[in-house]
Amino acid sequence: MEAKRLAAEKAVELIADGMVVGLGTGSTVAYAIQRLGEFVKQGLDVRAIATSTRSEQLARELGIHLVTFADVQQIDLTIDGADEVDPEWNLIKGGGGALLREKIVAAASRRLIIIVDESKVVEKLGKFPLPVEVVPFGYQVTMQRLYDLGFSPQLRTDGGQPCITDNGNFIIDCRIDVIDHPGRIHDSLNKMVGIVENGLFIGYASQVIVGYHDGSVKELKRRVD
């Protein structure tokens, strides 16, 4: 928990007065939202767009001024977490079920700052099941197509019932040994009928801040092949 908090607080230092800020979803980002709330109470003037009802509720409780895309067209800086990040800054996101809104916000952001603890840094993506958001109608067919693609798909449930995203869709968690070519997998998934979006974030991250259990915080250097 301490490593997550350290990474989150480091990222919030990048927020300047007058910015439009994107607020991601998850336990690490919650620390960032709390820290931002402290700065707002001290007079920092920002507007924010949240990627989930959970983050929206927390931001509202802390007095952060929330807006929508009806109010702004571009976000200056977004802070979000990741379930996995590789040396090229390819990401798996969606463990919290907000991957579609997170990708919409990321695509509208000038800068996407990813905050993680050291356990999320991997050599290759794939250990964490890849979340895929799907339309409920015919999801069984979509699952079969995911299986045919080489995944072991499983419908995400809560109390025996399908988990419903903020967009009214289902999440299918797709297990695979390793994702060797994230870009190819991303494109293949998004061409599949029934899939709304997948949790591979390719080319979105501007900076990755890693918190370590020894109390240090470092920026992850990007490997360029």
| Buried-state track 107-130, b at ≥16 Cβ within 10 A, e below 16 | ebbebbbbbbbeebbbeebbebbb
What is the distance in angstroms between the CA of the first residue and the CA of the last residue of the chain?
Answer: 33
Which residue(s) pair with 211 in the sheet?
A: 117, 217
CB-facing half-sphere around the CA of 175: CA atoms within 13 A: 4
Measured CA to CA, the distance from residue 194 to residue 196 in angstroms comes to 6
CA 183 – CA 167 distance, rounded (Å)? 25
Q: CA-to-CA distance for 78 and 24, rounded, in angstroms?
A: 7
Alpha helices in 98-210 (DSSP H): 99-107, 139-148, 182-190
Distance of CA 220 to the CA centre of its chain: 17
- Indicate if 13 belongs to the active site: no
Catalytic residue among 56, 84, 102, 197: 102
Taking alpha carbons only, the member of 147, 135, 149, 148 closest to residue 193 is 135
Please check whether residue 47 is in contact with residue 65, taking contact to mean a CB–CB distance below 8 angstroms. Answer: yes
* Catalytic residue IDs: 102
